[in-house]
Amino acid sequence: MDRITWPRLRDDLASTRRGAAAFLQNLDAAHTTSSTEWFIRWIEIGDAHGILGNAKRREGKIDEAAMAWLCALTAFEVAKRLTTETAVQGEDASVKIASAIKTFGSLEQKIECVQIECYDQSEIQAHYLPADSCSKAPAIICISAEDETATTLLGRLLPAAAHRGMSVLAVTYDDISGNRRGQSNETLSCCLDYLSTRPDIDATRIGVYGDGIASALATDLAVSDSRVAAAVCDGGLWNWARTRAAVEWVTGVSEAQNEEVIAARRLRLIRRLRCPVLVMAGGRGVVSISEAIRLQNACAAAKMDLQLGIPRTTITDVGEVENFVISDDRIFRWLEQKLLLGSAV
């Protein structure tokens, strides 16, 4: 372990997340230490933060208690990344995360469970985290990846979203997606309706963030609903890739068009988006890095507001581990600047 040391308990959220990011960044240097050992250490760190949070709560220091539990969530999320999907440790980490979210949500009711009525009279359940400010704040609709529960999504996003002056509405992919064409757009538009009617939300500053395959749903919403002010999405590349694959399958030949023609088609798709866009390529996303770079170059030439983020990953004995801390902080920093500050990243 020449370039990595055992992670330490840190007494504030920024330090905890910097430590977690540094650990994940240098995970390839930890080959002499098993993922199980790292898992145990990060669970211990999360538990220590939880003990501190409970102590602060008993002292009536609610803000400090909330900070400690956000640190615990970051530590437990790191631990979860160090297990396989079928490992018992992964289930243990998920239980820890669920318990930490419940405790954090009990602190002055920071997390609300809300029911959103859809146009077909059905309802979906969502989790709402209000902004720190009492004035009208921007809001973000966050859609989980296909294999994520609301608890999994919240456990990862709460520490990244906290104290940024923005509200968060978390929904799951399964609740949003449907077999009927256009149903996901309708359901997400209902989420926009809900946020727009809340007195604590500025209806002109609502963004959407889709994780994993949900990034395509975020694109569709931004295209279909002009109320979206910023989108973290796939920029239309997922549907673009599927369309190209379908054409090649039907014709039996690979598409042999020149790059100028292909670039023009990409731009036609992205021009339908009338808001700033951040495309996350690679990692847990569904977007090809090479296609995203081509799209970014085309948008730069056309003076369109599209930026590209590429998550950092490390290969370990449990597979590819993404540095979620850097990725999530990048996403929420971009959303904060687009929706709250109105400046370029």
Collect contacts of 116-120 with beta carbons under 8 A, ≥24 apart: 116/171, 116/190, 116/191, 116/194, 117/190, 118/186, 118/187, 118/190, 119/186, 119/189, 119/190, 120/186
3-state class (DSSP) for residue 332 = helix
For residue 344, name the pLDDT band (cuts at 50, 70, 90).
very low
- Structural fold of domain 13-105: Methane Monooxygenase Hydroxylase; Chain G, domain 1 (1.20.58)
pLDDT for position 107 = 85
User: Could you tell me the pTM of the whole model?
Assistant: 0.87
Residue 195 has pLDDT above 90, yes or no: yes
pLDDT in tens, 276-330: 999 998 776 667 788 888 888 888 887 889 899 988 887 776 677 889 999 999 9
pLDDT in tens, 84-94: 655 666 678 88
**How many angstroms separate the CA atoms of 105 and 93, rounded?**
18
Residue 342 has pLDDT above 90, yes or no: no
- Structural fold of domain 112-341: Rossmann fold (3.40.50)
User: What amino acid occupies position 192?
Assistant: L
Query: Mean of the per-residue pLDDT values for the chain?
Result: 84
Collect contacts of 290-295 with beta carbons under 8 A, ≥24 apart: 291/237, 291/240, 291/241, 292/235, 292/237, 294/259, 294/262, 294/263, 294/266, 295/235, 295/237, 295/266, 295/270
**How many angstroms separate the CA atoms of 206 and 220, rounded?**
15
pLDDT for position 247 = 46
pLDDT in tens, 98-114: 999 999 988 876 889 99
**How many angstroms separate the CA atoms of 153 and 91, rounded?**
15
49-53, 181-185, 299-303: range with lowest mean pLDDT: 181-185
Residue 250 has pLDDT above 80, yes or no: no
Using an 8 Å Cβ cutoff, are 24 and 321 in contact?
yes
pLDDT for position 5 = 52
**How many angstroms separate the CA atoms of 196 and 228, rounded?**
11
DSSP codes, 32-86: TS-HHHHHHHHHHHHHHHHHHHHHHHHTT-HHHHHHHHHHHHHHHHHHHHTS-TT
**How many angstroms separate the CA atoms of 216 and 238, rounded?**
6
For residue 31, name the pLDDT band (cuts at 50, 70, 90).
low
Q: In what order do the strands lie in the sheet with 277-280?
A: 112-117, 123-129, 167-171, 137-143, 201-210, 228-233, 277-280, 306-309
8-22, 233-247, 269-283, 317-331: range with lowest mean pLDDT: 233-247
For residue 210, name the pLDDT band (cuts at 50, 70, 90).
very high
Find the mean pLDDT for residues 121-145: 90
CB atoms closer than 10 angstroms to residue 255: 11
Residue spans in the chain of domains classed CATH 3.40.50.1820: 112-341
pLDDT in tens, 136-150: 899 999 999 988 888
Residue spans in the chain of domains classed CATH 1.20.58: 13-105
